[in-house]
Structure 1
Amino acid sequence: MLKILIICCTLLLPIRAVKAQNRYEQVINNWHSKRIESLKAENGWLNLVGLFWLEEGKNTFGSDQQNNIVFPSGSIATKAGYFERKGNIVKLVAADDVNITINGNPVKEAIIFHPDSTKTPTVVAGNLKWTIIKRDNKIGIRLRDIKSLALATFKGIERFPIDSTWKIEATIQSSPKARIEITNVLGQTNEQQSPGKLLFTLNGKQYSLDALEEGNELFIIFGDATSGKTTYPAGRFLYANKPDANGKTILDFNKAYNPPCAFTDFATCPLPPKQNILQIAITAGEKDFDHH
Structure 2
Amino acid sequence: MSAEAWAPADADFVSEWTAWHESHEETRTDRLGILAATGLHWLGRARLRVPGVPGAWAIGANGPVVELGEGEVLTVDGEQLRGTRELTPFLRTGTALLAFVDGGVKGLAEVSRRGNGVMLRPRRADSAYLGSYTGTKAYPADPQWAVTGRFVAAEEPATRRVEAVLPGIEHSFSSPGHIEFTVGERQHRLTAFSGANGTLTVLFRDATSGITTYAASRSLSVAAPAPDGSVVLDFNRSVNLPCAYTDYSTCPVPPQENTLPIAVDAGEKVPGARVESR
1:273 to 252, 255, 264: 255
Give the superposition deviation at 1:274. Answer: 0.7
Deviations 1:1-23 (A, max 9, x none): xxxxxxxxxxxxx9996221111
Amino acid at match of 1:152: G
CA distance in 2, matches of 1:135, 1:291: 26
Gaps of 5+ in 1: 1-13, 62-69
TM-score (norm 1): 0.83
For 1:111 and 1:121, how far apart are their aligned partners in 2? 14
Q: Which of residues 229, 232, 251 is equivalent to 1:247?
A: 229
- Pairs within 5 Å for 1:14-163: 18-56=7-45, 58-61=46-49, 70-71=50-51, 75=52, 81-96=55-70, 98-102=71-75, 107-111=81-85, 113-114=87-88, 118=92, 120-126=96-102, 127=105, 128-163=107-142
Q: 1:131 to 1:180 in 2, by over 3 A?
A: closer
Shift of 1:273: 0.8
Cα distance in 2 between the residues matched to 1:117 and 1:235: 28
Moved more, 276-285 or 136-145: 136-145
Checking the alignment, whether the CA contact within 8 Å between 1:49 and 1:264 is kept in structure 2 is no
Match of 1:199 among 170, 176, 180: 180
Task: For residue 262 of structure 2, give the secondary structure of its aligned residue in structure 1.
Answer: coil
Identity of aligned residues (%): 29
Question: Which blocks of at least 5 consecutive residues in structure 2 are unaligned?
Answer: none
Deviations 1:124-163 (A, max 9, x none): 1322321210012201111101111111111111111110
Give the aligned residue type for 1:241.
A
**1:167 to 2:146 alignment:** yes
Contact kept, 8 Å, 1:224 with 1:281, in 2: the verdict is: yes
- Contact 2:31 / 2:125 at 8 angstroms: preserved in 1? yes
Cα distance, 1:84 vs structure 2: 3.2
8 A contact 2:149–2:233 mirrored in 1 = yes
Compare CA radii of gyration and give the structure with the larger one: 1
Deviation at 1:25? 0.7
Q: How many equivalent residue pairs?
A: 263
Contact 2:240 2:268 in 1 (8 A): yes
Contact 1:112–1:121 under 8 Å retained in 2: no
